[in-house]
Structures are given as C-alpha cells and as structure tokens.
Amino acid sequence: MKRRSFIKGMAAAGASALIPAGTVGAVLTACKPSGPAASATSGGFDDIVDRAGTWSIKYGRATDGEIPMWIADMDFKTDPFVSAALRKRLDRDVLGYTSTPDTFFDAIAAWEESVHGYKADREWIGYAPGVITAINQAYLTFTEPGDKIIVQPPVYDHFRLYIERLGRVAVDNPLIFEDGRYRMDLEGLERIIDDKTKALVLCNPHNPCGILWDRETLEALAAICERHGIIVISDEIHGDLALYGRRHTPFCSVSDAAARIGMIFAGPTKAFNLAGLSGTAYCIIPDKDKREKYLATLRNAKLNEPSIMTLEAVIAAYREDRTWLDSLKDYIEGNISRVESFFAENNLGFKPIHPQASFLVWLDCRGLGLPQDKLMDLFLSKAKVIPSDGSSYGPGGEGFVRLNVGCPASILDEALSRIRTTITAASLL
C-alpha cells in the first residue's frame, strides 16, 4: 500500500458518513503535537513517515483508507544513530562474507547487564536468526514430532503456528483474567504436564496482554518446569520496551533452576523497529549442554551467520546512550494514556488493559456483546481501523482486539475518533 494512497484513502473515509469531511486531512497534514504525547517530540515521533515503495507489510493491508494498527511494527523511523551506522557501512561498498565480531556479543552482554540487570556470561550468548526462526530451531533441537509444547494463551499466535507446522502438539495453559488483571495459572500448569510434554514457550513480556512477569512468578514457573523435566523457551523480544520506569526480568536470571532449564531469545527488533532486517536477534543459554546442542543445530542449518546490516544495527542500537529509546518510551506511554483517557471519557463498551511493556494495547471489547466476526467487521469495514483479531491469540482472545499504538498521536486520535463515530452510528449501546 502506498502511503500517499493511504492518506487519500483516509480522506475518502473522512468524506463518508462515518467521518466528518475534512477531519482526516486536517489531522494528517497539520500533524501538530497535542495532548500528553506532545511533550516527547524530540524523536520525531509525531512525524508521518512515508512508506510508499517500502514493501511495508503493515500498510500493504490498508488498501481502502484503513488505519493499520495490527502487526507489531511501529510507524516511526528507526533510531537515527542506527541508520547512520548502516549508511556508514554501506559507504564502504564492501558486502563480502563477514565474521561475527566480539563487539556484537559485548554489546549484548553490556545491554543485558545495564538495562535488565542480568549479568550473562559472554559465552552464554549466541547469534539468533530472528526470534521466531530461532525458537523454531529450539523446538527441532529439544523435542520430537508428536511431543507437547505448552503455550499460555491469549498469546502471540506464531508460537502455536510453528509448533503445529513442525508436527509438535500445542497444549494450552490459559492465563487467568480476574478483576481486569492477568496472571499465570501455575496450578493448571502442574495438572496438564504429562510424559509427552517437553517444553513451554514463555512470552516475557507477554504479547498481547502487555505483562512484565515478576520474579516470583518466573521462579515458581522454573521450579515446576524443572521438576517435570521441561525446558522453558523465553521470548523476550519486547523486553527493551518495559514502560513506566519498570524493569524487564530475564527468565534465566531468576534462579539456578531457570538458568539450568531456560533459554532466552531477544533482540532490538521491536524497540528499534528493525523487523525488516529480519535477523537482529540473539540467544542466551546458560546451560552448557543445551547451548552446545542448540548452537550445533543452528550451525548445521547454516543459520549462524548474521548479515552485515544485522551486526551493525545491533551494535549501534545496544550502545550506552539511551536517549532515543527513552524518548520513544515516553511517547508510547503518552499514546497509551491517550487511549485510556479516551475510553474512560467515552463510554463505548471498550476497556483497555493497561500494558506494562511495549506499544500494544489489548482491548477488551466484550462490553459490546458482539461475536468476533461482527466485532472485526465493525473495525475493518465500518471504522476503517485494522486491529489484530483477538481470537487469533487462542483461548481467551475472543471479544478482544490488539491495537498497535506505535504511531503518531495524530493517527491514533483519528483512529479513536473513527471508533467512536462508528459505535455511536451503530447505536450499539
């Protein structure tokens, strides 16, 4: 989808009965800082970035003037320091076979220690060819076809997708949702584990529910899994986006048991918006036997060779100066406040679940009383806003959508306004 036609499409939608004429164009062309998010404009996060001709997956779905708020890809440009490092490297015009320098591992070790408080030995760290690709290789290394792997829905859909594609069986240990908060069902976990259960995939922080798991929960999880001989594959790709001054807790750091049975997959992909480089990731596996076995799998599949751009991007992102990342987090917090104030002020039947990390808001839409297909139709064809469908995250996702608020505040405001106009027009309440 071309960015210009997206904007024109938005204008067209604005001329429809749903959006008062002129609103969209005015919002997008003015693109003025306003409200709580406006205080943190140093990163250029208010700017509307033209994605025309960039083969954007996110905007590729917005063919009819919709606002795309689905895939976990922010509308923002990456950190200029990262782009400058890539540009500088390209200026050399040398793109030959490249080894992985120590500075790559050193940057990751220093980041884990200073940002997450985790002192991981340099030798525990390996390159990972993208978090999901690397997790899939863990399934192949540590489980056999027909083995069971536990997921904790509602959770990132690609866990289940590849467990099934690789001939393993996904077993659900759903999160418990009580009084507007999620927690892990540790008793349920004990009940479902059997001889065929070999692994658990942990989403830490949790996507889509935005949970920063606390040390006590992770410790208890590690103890249960070790007792039953299960490994824990911890996806920590959203960890660098812990919000509100809180810290992300790396799974392997919580106890000796966690270090023995755990493996971390992480990277600057989400925080620095690097998904298109397709491989800005790493693993941390403290246990020597597991690490050697896993790294051999990567080597045998020739998945152990990062591209030059991946190396440059990770090293540049994981530098000491956190100014850009801090202002991004301020901006995201501002956008989350916008969403929360909007739904508090407008009684439309939606309840956002307050995220502790990342730019994804899990929106409880059950107050509307609609089946999932009607709910999605309301967003897609009426409001012209594309959220992620809550039901795609497995049990517990029905009646919810996930809204990506990693976008300029002006676009977010337009999306919220479209939702309000649609609900009011549909007289659902």
- Please pick, from the candidates 108, 281, 298, 336, the single residue that binds ligand PLP as defined by CB under 6 A: 281
Exposure of 321 by Cβ count < 10 A (0-12 exposed, 13-18 middle, 19+ buried)? exposed
Cβ(130)–Cβ(314) below 8 Å:
no
Which one of 125-133, 136-144, 188-196, 297-305 is the stretch in contact with ligand PLP (CB under 6 A)?
125-133
Instruction: Pick one of 74, 237, 284, 285: the residue that binds ligand PLP (CB under 6 A).
Output: 237
Q: What is the x/- site pattern for ligand PLP, positions 175-204, by CB under 6 A?
A: ----------------------------x-
Q: Shortest gap between Cβ of 17 and ligand PLP (angstroms)? A: 34
CB nearer to ligand PLP: give 157 or 413. Answer: 157
| Contact between 254 and 226 (Cβ < 8 Å) | no
Which CB atom, from 1 or from 155, has the smaller least distance to ligand PLP? 155
Q: Which of 25, 62, 68, 30 is nearest to 46 (CA)?
A: 30
CB of 377 to ligand PLP, least distance (A): 24
Phi and psi at 114, nearest 5°, equal -80, -35
Q: Write down the least CB distance from residue 207 to ligand PLP, Å.
A: 4
Residue 20 Cβ vs ligand PLP, minimum distance, rounded to whole Å: 34
Residue number, 66 or 235, with CB nearest to ligand PLP: 235
317 binds ligand PLP (CB under 6 A): no
361 in helix, strand or coil? strand
By CB under 6 A, tell whether 130 contacts ligand PLP.
yes
Minimal distance, residue 130 CB to ligand PLP, in Å? 4
Cβ contact 266:311 at 8 Å? no
Beta carbon nearer to ligand PLP, 58 or 338: 58
**Closer residue to ligand PLP (CB): 79 or 235:** 235
Angle at which helix 288-300 crosses helix 131-142, to 10 degrees, equals: 110
Site for ligand PLP in 392-421 (CB under 6 A): none
Question: Which residues between 200 and 229 bind ligand PLP (CB under 6 A)?
Answer: 203, 207
Contact stretch for ligand PLP (CB under 6 A) within 55-63, 129-137, 323-331, 394-402:
129-137
The yes or no reply on residue 156 touching ligand PLP (CB under 6 A) is: yes
Residue from 137, 143, 234, 269 in contact with ligand PLP (CB under 6 A): 269
Q: What is the dihedral of CA 172, 202, 175, 181, to 10 degrees?
A: -170
Q: Residue 4 CB, nearest distance to ligand PLP (Å)? A: 27
The rounded distance, in Å, linking the Cα atoms of 342 and 352 is 10
Burial-class residue 428 by CB neighbours within 10 Å (0-12, 13-18, 19+): middle
Q: Smallest distance, Å, CB 159 to ligand PLP?
A: 8
Number of residues that bind ligand PLP (CB under 6 A): 13
275 binds ligand PLP (CB under 6 A): yes
> In terms of CB distance, is 156 or 342 closer to ligand PLP?
156
Report the relative pairing of strands 67-69 and 125-128 from DSSP bridges.
Answer: unpaired
Is 235 one of the binding residues for ligand PLP (CB under 6 A)? Answer: yes
- Kindly give, in sequence order, each residue whose CB lies less than 8 Å from that of residue 210, ignoring residues fewer than 6 positions away: 353, 354, 355, 356, 357, 358, 360, 361, 362
Is residue 365 within 8 Å of residue 349, measured between CB atoms?
Answer: yes
The stretch among 52-60, 115-123, 126-134, 181-189 that binds ligand PLP (CB under 6 A) is 126-134
411 in helix, strand or coil?
helix
Radius of gyration (C-alpha) of the chain in whole angstroms = 22
| Beta carbon of residue 175, minimum distance to ligand PLP (angstroms, whole number) | 14
The kind and range of the H/E element at 45 are: none
215 and 409 in contact (C-beta within 8 Å)? no
Nearer of residues 14 and 205 to ligand PLP, judged by Cβ: 205
Residues 67-106 that bind ligand PLP (CB under 6 A): 72
The one-letter amino acid at 205: P
Among 131, 211, 357, 403, binds ligand PLP (CB under 6 A): 131
Asked whether 47 and 409 are in contact (CB, 8 A), the reply is no
- The torsion angles phi and psi of 406, rounded to 5 degrees, stand at -80, 65
Site residues for ligand PLP per CB under 6 A: 72, 130-133, 156, 203, 207, 235, 237, 269, 275, 281
